[in-house]
Amino acid sequence: MKTFINSNNLLAMALMSVAAATGCDTGDDADFGAGDVTERCTNGCGIKLNTFLFGKLEAGELARDFTEIYNDTRLAEVRLLCTKDGKQAWRFPKSCKEKPTFKLEEVWSDRGELKGKAEGLEFGRADFLKSEWDIAFYENGQQNDQVTLTVNKYEEQPGFHFYTFDYPNTDQSGPKDTLTVPACKETLDPVTGQYVGTKAVAIEDIVVDTTTGVIDRKKGMIYIACVSAAVGKATLWGFTPYDAQVDVENFTTAVRVVRADYCGDGDSWTTVGNALQLADKWGYSSFNNNPGPTEALWGEHGAACLGTPRWQGTYSYSDVTCNGNKIEPCKVGADLGTYEGTKFWSTLP
């Protein structure tokens, strides 16, 4: 189901109250491309695309095949809780008569909803609450570590399924009574004053190129995306790679819009708190009555033209270069029909 949005300082609807109306790109040192955009280096350091963190896993990409090692990481096992409701026992495995949990034989995501199978039965939605995910880590083909994550919260809203993953707290300097910490980083939006949450969405069959920011389709994958980070935020704004109109290519562009990746090279030109308004060619989002100056019109390779950069007071048009070249300035009166192939139009508030 597609969510239609009227953007006001970017997508101010109730569903989005936890996702906040900002483009941002910050993360821990453990995230790939970590740190504020101001810490960005210029010699091939990788993109600034903070994302889900499975303990020490640098991205939310997991192969569904429990035997497959992908990027030195393997989803070893997923266990669901057996029901304690006698009226529901019929839809749970017979092994639940003897054990409190059962192992899934298969796990996948279907339009953002985690699903699984065991003993010929299918599970989804709140069945994944308190589920345990064993993640194994490898180096030179040898397993050297493992962490178990737990889904400690599940929320369902129209068109969306949210999962809050926690993992064991190994920080000896932190509070001793904090046994687990969220896998997704909490962030405060300085524009709305709201916390964006530690929950994540599960996206099927995609992977992210951490050098270019390109998102590709890859069968057999689950990508866990934090709503506080760019991939999850683009999803909450209504643009999903499993939507037939948006598809993976346009989803890549949506993520570039979130991150102000003007050059289409993975480099971000924004920081927390830089608000915007957004319109798109499909009409899923639209401006309020008083949009500000045009920031950019966006196509497959980033900004087709650039007006006023989002990070006011830090960057002006003249500061933005792509491989030493300027982006074409947006023409007066430019809109989604001005430049061939443009899909998104962003303005300042």
Element (H, E) at 254: helix 247-259
pLDDT digits (tens, 9 = 90+) for 258-315: 999 999 998 899 887 788 899 999 998 888 878 899 999 999 999 999 999 999 999 9
pLDDT of residue 75: 95
Q: Can you say whether the dihedral through the CA atoms of 36, 44, 248, 167 is positive or negative?
A: negative
pLDDT of residue 274: 84
Q: How confident is the model at residue 36 (pLDDT cuts 50, 70, 90)?
A: very low
Q: How confident is the model at residue 193 (pLDDT cuts 50, 70, 90)?
A: low
pLDDT of residue 56: 57
| pLDDT score of 2 more than 90 | no
Length of the chain: 349
pLDDT digits (tens, 9 = 90+) for 45-83: 344 455 555 555 556 889 999 999 998 899 999 999 999
pLDDT of residue 4: 41
pLDDT digits (tens, 9 = 90+) for 231-257: 988 998 889 999 999 999 999 999 999
pLDDT of residue 212: 85
- Over residues 140-150, the mean pLDDT reads 92
Q: Report the distance separating Cα 210 and Cα 212, nearest Å.
A: 6
Burial pattern 106-128, b for ≥16 Cβ within 10 A else e, equals ebbbeebbbbbebeeeebeeebb
